[in-house]
A and B are shown apart, each in its own frame.
Chain A
Amino acid sequence: MSKISIGEFEEIVMLTVAVLYKDAYGVAIKKDLEKRSKRNVSLGSMRTALKRLEKKGLITSEFGEVTAVRGGKRKRYFKVTPYGKKVLIEVMETRKRLWDAIPDLAFDI
């Protein structure tokens, strides 16, 4: 198990970044998140999660080109790092192991 632990929200954000691949910037991530997780996500909470992840080295980011839209402000694109991928897989596998370990009768009441 990796020493780095990530929260549930962080995991979802990372997965979303991975899903969007080349298109993972602020508004896009937010929309996708809201669509898939069916909850409201503020820019603030999302951006702080991204900042944390970046600090942990799980994702990287870079500015895109200047465009005419968005008041001429650049977008910041995020990308999952190989290390991030490893952590995601680890989290998934932990879950999987846990699921596998659950006896069949556990949820039957």
Chain B
Amino acid sequence: MAYQPNIAPPKGLIRFFRWFCDPDLVEELEGDMIELFEERSQSSIAKAKTLLVWEIIMLFRPGIIRNFDENKNLNNYGMIKNYLKSAWRSFMKYKTFSAINIFSLTIGMAACMVIFLFVKDERSFDAFNEKKDKIYRLCEVQSPPGTIVQNVALSMPGMGPTMTAEFPEIETFTRFWNWGDQLLEIGEKRITIENVAGVDSTFFEIFDYPLIIGDPSEVVDEPLDAVVSEEVAITLFNKLDVIGETFILDGDQCIIRGVMENVPENSHLQFNILLNIKSATLNNPDFDTQFGSNFLNTYFILNEAADLDAMAERYPDYLIRNTGDEDANDFYKLFLQPLEEVHLTSMDIEHDYNNYRKFNGTYIDVFILVGIFILIIASLNFMNLTTARASNRAKEVGVRKTIGAIKGQLFNQFIIESIMLSFMALVFAILLTLIALPFLNILVERQLTLLTILTNAQLVLVVLSISLVLGILAGIYPSLYLSSFKPVIVLKGFKSYEKRSLFRSSLIIVQFSLALGMIIATLVVIQQLNFMKNKDIGFTTDHILLLDMNQQTRENYDEFKQTLLNESNILGVTGSGQRLGNNFHQWGFKATQDTGIVRLTPSNVYVDHDYLDVYGIKLIQGRTFSREFATDDGLAFIVNESFAKELGYEDPIGKRVGHSWYPNDSLGTIIGVTEDFNFNSLHYQVNTLSMVVHTDWGYSEMSIKLNGENIQQAVKDVERIYDQFVTDYPIEYQFLDSHFDELYKSDVQMGSVISIIAGLSIFIGCMGLFGLASISIQRRIKEVGIRKVMGASVNELVTLLSKNFAVMILISFLIATPITYLFIAGWLESFAFRVQINPLLFVAGGLIALVIALVTISFHVIKAAQTNPVNSLKYE
């Protein structure tokens, strides 16, 4: 066989070998293999190749394979240590800027945390119910004649049972009938318990209110079965195990079958004692098929396949069949509201009596939005100041690059620095939140706690990742910017890099647009809140004490009233069936027209004769109720202007009208017409209203007008006289103005949150501006010196230096104005009575921002303008 010296081993195999082999061993081993291959190929090339493959496979083993991780392992620990060290050094060297950076992020993060807690608290409503996705509340859209169309949370007693029977989609139902405060008798003891309610036996199977003792499926099965809360059990019997104990309610003996945990704060239903709903209707066997009036809440569990729209198509037919009224659908439309929407999406629902702490859900979105805004503003600060200060780090970048750092490494360094700052801010934010929460809790009347986040591993992880992402996002641009410096240029002197400030200016503009928008929004919100507080709602709410009536005060009403009136500090006393501040119950009403009797459904309230006088409600026509006329008790009606208009009489006085149950031949008359006063909240238009006196009905509440000069004494007088007349019931009263404050609580709280956030965002924005001004003015210090030498005055210089900033604010103003206008106009829509948006407010907001910004930078501007040119020019 001939000698073939030039046969080379297959290239691919060798390349593969070179790829995996330790570089230290490559040469000799490759040589060895070539030698062997050449020798073997003398006899058989195929065999040589096979053996070569074999050798290479055998070489593929630890000890020969190179270390693929070598680059990663190289220097990593030391490098990161060095990053942290240089980050810390630059942090300490420029304390002001670092503090601004961290502090603004801290505020942003703290604000977000608080907002998160608030939102989470609101969203947690009713979430403890396992079947929450399947629970629905039955609501109605009511449009009876003579009244405004309204959504109502109430339903009729017959609806629950009959709908469950007729609609296969409905698995089960429970009704919730709030009986308010009830007097319980246990032996000699009499105790008033708040929030007593009647429910169906299925209640504890639908809702998950945990029972301490008792089986959820049977605790309220029979009439007069009761479940009490822990607290009530202790109050009544001083022990927890009260099963089998009894109490008398309304003359009936009730037996306790279960004890439940106190109803959680985040439940829209609130109750202390639950009874089987039939306890109140023992003499009414038709309760389950009773239609007509709406006075309780109905809840359903729907099955998986339920289609709300398909169900809605069958409601009209259902209503006609069950109410026996062909026209039922002209007045009522049913709809189902998911349980999860009850707390946050019920602002347009009236007569919503069992909806604890009802909150306007759109405000939640607003809160989230402003939370994001403030975080953006804070992050922009960070980006802005870091890039603006680039010159401070330029030399460092230059040196690092010269000794071999690549761009990626520098990028990592600055990103790590930014993440570090972000985590420092997080620590401070947690501290700040801890300090601020107790005060905020008072302001928004919540019990928010940071433990919600800290004890939830998942949330902790989320917070940490948000901080991480924030650090990275805020750091990306500065890091890219800094790491892109060319060493030659930056080490020679850092002039050419300083021109690109358009980006920074736009960041400032974004910041100020957001802050400005919030300032303007705050101004409008405050204006609207003031408007609501000060609007003449047509009656007085000052110094009016609302006293809950009970059996004893009702029995001695006249005498009790007279004794009160004898006190010099009590200016007036009157009674009413309902309290002002929400819609009054709507009853049927008859009016005679040329065409015959017309039926309408206005809001109604029965009152004492002197109601209009005590409340200062103004009459436009006719007279008020008087004891002089016997017919004024039940047969005289005073209507408001809207209702008078609705009735369409040319002169309403003396027209024959009456309750729907009055026979047509014995109607009463209209004796007066009042101005439209806002008996409902200002979110709503004034509904049609009819007032009547019914002394024999028994008032549910007494309104006592006190002498404003001497409130404390007057209250004492009321309490003293009350004790003379009432032995069995403790006194319960509230002031009307505080009742009205509650109506607008959601709005006021939103107002305060927006104001705080607006304040904080302008503050953060200004901190950034302060930092930026100091940098940019520092940079122009020689220009200022030269201008001064050439004869510029301090004033001219101040104008010159401030101009840029003023222009930026102006641009922000132009951007913020239209967006804010749209937003604010949308918000005001939710009020039937609202302020006009005043363009001056926008100008005012702009001016405020401008002034704050100019004051912020004035420190640097004036300092620069006053500098002796000798000092700024002598080094060159």
Contacts and interface: CB of A to CB of B under 8 A. Distances in A.
Contact of B29 (A26, A52, A69): A26
A71 B8 contact: yes
B34 to A, nearest CB: 4
B31 A73 contact: yes
A27 B36 contact: yes
A69 B31 CA distance: 9
B29 A47 contact: yes
Contacts of A26: 28-29, 31-32, 35
A109 B57 CA distance: 45
Nearest to B60: A44
A73 B55 contact: no
Contacts of B38: 69-70
B63 interface: yes
A63 B28 CA distance: 8
B32 A27 contact: yes
A47 B64 contact: yes
B53 to A, nearest CB: 12
A37 interface: no
A44 B29 CA distance: 9
Given A26-B32, A48-B63, A51-B63, A42 B58 contact: yes
Q: Which of A48, A71, A74 has the most CB of B within 10 A?
A: A71
Interface string B55-72: 100111111100000000
Contact of A43 (B29, B62, B63): B29
Contacts of A71: 8, 30-31, 34
Interface string A12-33: 0000000000000111001000
A45 interface: yes
Contacts of A63: 27-28
Interface in B14-58: 25, 27-36, 38, 54-55, 58
A75 interface: yes
A21 B33 CA distance: 21
A76 interface: yes
A70 B37 CA distance: 9
Given A71-B8, A73-B27, A74-B27, A44 B61 contact: yes
Nearest to B24: A51
A51 B30 CA distance: 16
A78 to B, nearest CB: 10
A75 B63 contact: no
B61 A43 contact: no
B33 A43 contact: yes
Interface size class of A (residues with CB under 8 A): 20 to 34
A25 to B, nearest CB: 8
A52 B28 CA distance: 16
Nearest to B54: A42
B31 A44 contact: no
Contacts, number: 69
Nearest to B32: A26
Interface string A62-73: 010000011101
A70 B35 contact: yes
Main secondary structure of the interface of B (DSSP, over half): helix
A69 B35 contact: yes
B61 A75 contact: no
Contacts of B33: 43
Q: Which of B30, B31, B35, B55 has the most CB of A within 10 A?
A: B31
A47 B35 CA distance: 15
B8 A42 contact: no
B54 A73 contact: no
Contact of A74 (B31, B61, B64): B31
Main secondary structure of the interface of A (DSSP, over half): helix
A25 B816 CA distance: 81
Contacts of B28: 25-26, 63, 73-76
B14 to A, nearest CB: 9
B63 A27 contact: no
Contacts of B30: 71, 73
A98 B29 CA distance: 39
Nearest to A29: B32
A71 B32 CA distance: 10
A75 B31 contact: yes
B32 to A, nearest CB: 4
A43 B8 contact: no
Contacts of A69: 35, 38
Contact of A45 (B8, B27, B58): B58
Contacts of B31: 26, 70-71, 73-75
B274 to A, nearest CB: 81
A47 B59 contact: yes
Contacts of B62: 48
B64 A48 contact: yes
A71 to B, nearest CB: 4
Given A26-B32, A69-B35, A70-B34, A47 B25 contact: yes
Contacts of A25: 28, 32
Interface in B407-430: none
A63 B26 CA distance: 12
B34 A73 contact: yes
A69 B28 CA distance: 12
Contacts of A51: 25, 63
A43 B34 contact: no
Interface in A29-59: 30, 42-45, 47-48, 51-52
A74 B34 CA distance: 11
Contacts of A43: 29, 32-33, 36, 55, 58-59
Q: Which of B8, B32, B60, B64 has the most CB of A within 10 A?
A: B32
A47 B64 CA distance: 8
Contacts of A45: 58, 61
Nearest to A26: B32
Contacts of B55: 42-44
B196 to A, nearest CB: 87
Contacts of B58: 42-45
Contact of B35 (A27, A44, A48): A27
B19 to A, nearest CB: 16
A70 B35 CA distance: 5
Given A73-B27, A73-B28, A74-B27, A44 B34 contact: no
Contacts of B25: 47, 51
Nearest to B59: A44
Contacts of B60: 44
A42 B36 CA distance: 11
A76 B63 CA distance: 17
A42 B30 CA distance: 13
Contacts of A42: 54-55, 58-59
A31 B63 CA distance: 22
B31 to A, nearest CB: 3
A63 B55 CA distance: 22
B712 to A, nearest CB: 95
B34 A48 contact: no
A31 B58 CA distance: 16
Q: Which of B25, B28, B60 has the most CB of A within 10 A?
A: B28
Nearest to A41: B58
29 contacts: A25-B28, A26-B28, A26-B35, A30-B32, A42-B55, A42-B58, A43-B36, A43-B55, A43-B59, A45-B58, A47-B25, A47-B64, A48-B63, A63-B27, A63-B28, A69-B35, A70-B31, A70-B34, A70-B35, A70-B38, A71-B8, A71-B34, A73-B30, A73-B34, A74-B27, A74-B28, A74-B31, A75-B28, A76-B28
Given A27-B32, A48-B62, A51-B63, 13 more contacts: A25-B32, A27-B35, A43-B33, A44-B60, A44-B61, A44-B64, A47-B64, A63-B28, A69-B35, A71-B8, A74-B27, A74-B28, A76-B27
The 4 A-B pairs of least Cβ separation, nearest first, read A73-B31, A42-B58, A44-B58, A26-B32
